[in-house]
Amino acid sequence: MSYVIRKAALSDLNAALQLDREAFGVDAWTFLDYMGVFSIRSVKKFSAEDDGQFAGFAAMEFDHRKRAACLMTLAVRPEFRNRGIGAGLLHTCEAAFPGKNYYLNVDEANKAAIRLYEREGYRQTGTEPGYYLNGHNAIIMEK
């Protein structure tokens, strides 16, 4: 393991936004969304770095209505995937909300992410038809 996971800094905003666009296409968040993520203190955000390069990003916030911490986003740059960074970012987010329940939405077609979440103990608890702008349904997973 050569990567490190650290609290995200404002200087990561552009790299996180770029990664989001590459990873999520029409469903990517906007610059303003990312301004929110980086300025709202209750959102815990982390960056992965490998050899000084930005490798991935994740953010989690506690949802008081659902009484569970919500994984808002998780993405790893393609050249850094399959090395445990996605799982590492997820573990770090969960550790920021110790002892809580966790949930997330994932595109039903996103097999790599679903496999990761299942391996990490998340289970499907529902669906949101047509949730994504690409027309796909979301799967709701909880842990």
Pick the closer one to ligand COA by CB: 84 or 142: 84
Please give the Cα distance from 136 to 75 (Å, whole number): 18
Q: Taking a C-beta distance cutoff of 8 angstroms, is the pair 16, 34 a contact?
A: yes
Cα separation values, 75 from 54, 64, 65, 67, 126, Å: 11, 24, 25, 24, 22
86 scored as a contact of ligand COA (CB under 6 A) = yes
Name which of residues 21 to 60 contact ligand COA (CB under 6 A): 23
Pick the closer one to ligand COA by CB: 35 or 116: 116
Pick the closer one to ligand COA by CB: 41 or 55: 55
Helix (H) or strand (E) holding 55: strand 53-63
Candidates 87, 91, 100, 136; binder of ligand COA (CB under 6 A) is 87
Pick the closer one to ligand COA by CB: 83 or 100: 83
**Could you give the dihedral angle defined by the CA atoms of residues 107, 104, 126 and 77, in that order, rounded to the nearest 10 degrees?**
20
Q: Smallest gap, in angstroms, from Cβ of residue 132 to ligand COA?
A: 10
Candidates 28, 59, 72, 76; binder of ligand COA (CB under 6 A) is 76
Of 55, 58, 49, 59, give the one whose Cα is nearest residue 77. 55
Question: Which residues of this protein are in contact with ligand COA, per CB under 6 A?
Answer: 23, 74-76, 81-87, 106, 110, 112-113, 115-116
